[in-house]
């Protein structure tokens, strides 16, 4: 089980470059679903068919892309310039190793004597360890993407650190949910979406194709139990699945929020309420695309989101899987 998570944590997929991670997720979910396809954007859509006469369509969605950078320019001295893809935390990126699509490594560094408060994309460079533009061009190409080095490490108890838990941990919840489901009454779609980090673009297209009645995103949410946390004070690592009420992109369907709370209580699944004052998720696409759907999000509490060491607790992940399975069996 955890090995599948380790596998999908290691495969790079910066927004728009999700081919490899998509192929792996398609392979992993195939034995537990009836049909798997990939659309023009690269969204992987797996369907488990329901048996009810008047069945609904439930669409789970977790994004498989990750934040990163695109090479814009290579200087004469071989130093590489990049532009961000998604919301980069430059304090976290400074002096860290990035890996390119072809496996080449470099170190991301800010201009000398730049204070962290002045960190901006144009103050950052990548050192490949080469001396000339020519040598650099043998390693990386303009337009190629890179991301902070990925992978996961066990901390105490059930906690793990690493990246990109945003949102491979959501993809893992979808995989585990598909494994747990036996017979389902409704059609259940599992969508691994592309390009969430640049504006939920993949889930727009996928929602249009699937046209769900119920949309349930699974994504990370900042855990409010860090020192001097400014947001999400109700969400704590290890306290269970977070049921989203809102973020900046969405006001979740109120009945679905209450239904998930009831299901958590009935099934003794630890849960907590999430009222996020910023951020966005694929929930918004499912809610508003085509004719719209009733949408909600199950969130995995995560410390240090978008850093190179996001921290999650597997007991929360288990709670998210249980809640997603319970949702499939319920009358939502």
CB of 72 to Zn ion, least distance (A): 24
Task: Kindly tell me which residue out of 144, 166, 239, 274 binds Zn ion, with binding defined by CB under 5 A.
Answer: 166
Stretch that binds Zn ion, among 65-73, 110-118, 163-171, 234-242 (CB under 5 A): 163-171
Task: Kindly tell me which residue out of 167, 187, 247, 274 binds Zn ion, with binding defined by CB under 5 A.
Answer: 167
CB of 310 to Zn ion, least distance (A): 10
| Residue 106-135 contact track with Zn ion, rule CB under 5 A, x = bound | ------------------------------
Cβ proximity of 220 and 300 under 8 Å: yes
By the 10 Å C-beta count (0-12 exposed, 13-18 middle, 19+ buried), 194 is classed as buried
192: tokens are: 């691994």
3-state secondary structure of 71: strand
Question: Can residue 282 be called a binding residue for Zn ion (CB under 5 A)?
Answer: no
Angle (CA) 192 28 256, round 5° = 45
Q: Which is nearer to Zn ion, 144 or 167 (CB)?
A: 167
CB of 112 to Zn ion, least distance (A): 33
Q: Which is nearer to Zn ion, 219 or 313 (CB)?
A: 219
Cβ proximity of 301 and 312 under 8 Å: yes
3-state secondary structure of 61: strand
Give the containing element (helix H, strand E) for 295: strand 294-302
Distance in angstroms (rounded) separating the CA atoms of residues 213 and 204: 15
CB of 221 to Zn ion, least distance (A): 9
Q: Catalytic: 196? A: yes
Q: Residues 206 to 235: which contact Zn ion by CB under 5 A?
A: 219
Distance in angstroms (rounded) separating the CA atoms of residues 209 and 91: 39
Which residue among the candidates 101, 176, 196, 197 is catalytic per the annotation? Answer: 196
* CA dist list (Å): 169 to 176, 251, 264: 10, 23, 20
Question: Can residue 65 be called a binding residue for Zn ion (CB under 5 A)?
Answer: no
Q: Which is nearer to Zn ion, 195 or 209 (CB)?
A: 195
Per the listing, tokens 């995989």 go with 175
Residues that bind Zn ion (CB under 5 A): 166-167, 219
For the annotated catalytic residues, the residue numbers are: 196
């Amino acid at each position: 089980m955890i090995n599948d998570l380790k596998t999908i944590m290691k495969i790079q997929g910066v927004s728009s470059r999700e081919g490899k991670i998509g192929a792996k997720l398609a392979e992993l979910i195939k034995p537990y679903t009836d049909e798997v396809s990939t659309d023009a954007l690269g969204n992987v859509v797996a369907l488990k068919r329901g048996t009810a006469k008047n069945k609904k369509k439930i669409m789970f969605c977790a994004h498989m892309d990750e934040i990163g950078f695109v090479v814009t320019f290579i200087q004469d001295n071989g130093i590489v310039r990049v532009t961000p893809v998604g919301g980069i935390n430059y304090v976290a990126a400074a002096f860290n190793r990035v890996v390119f699509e072809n496996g080449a490594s470099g170190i991301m560094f800010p201009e000398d004597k730049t204070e962290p408060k002045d960190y901006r994309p144009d103050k950052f460079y990548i050192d490949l360890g080469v001396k000339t533009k020519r040598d650099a061009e043998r390693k990386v190409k303009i337009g190629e993407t890179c991301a902070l080095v990925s992978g996961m490490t066990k901390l105490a108890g059930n906690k793990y650190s690493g990246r990109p838990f945003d949102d491979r941990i959501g993809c893992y919840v979808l995989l585990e949910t598909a494994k747990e489901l036996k017979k389902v009454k409704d059609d259940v779609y599992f969508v691994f979406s592309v390009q969430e980090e640049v504006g939920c673009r993949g889930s727009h297209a996928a929602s249009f194709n699937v046209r769900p009645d119920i949309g349930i995103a699974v994504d990370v949410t900042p855990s409010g139990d860090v020192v001097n946390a400014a947001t999400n004070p109700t969400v704590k690592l290890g306290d269970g699945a977070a049921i989203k009420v809102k973020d900046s992109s969405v006001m979740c369907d109120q009945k679905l929020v209450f239904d998930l709370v009831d299901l958590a209580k009935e099934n003794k699944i630890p849960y907590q309420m999430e009222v996020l004052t910023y951020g966005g998720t694929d929930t918004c696409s499912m809610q508003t695309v085509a004719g719209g759907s009733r949408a909600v999000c199950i969130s995995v509490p995560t410390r240090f989101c978008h850093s190179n060491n996001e921290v999650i607790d597997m007991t929360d992940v288990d709670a998210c899987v249980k809640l997603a399975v319970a949702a499939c069996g319920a009358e939502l």
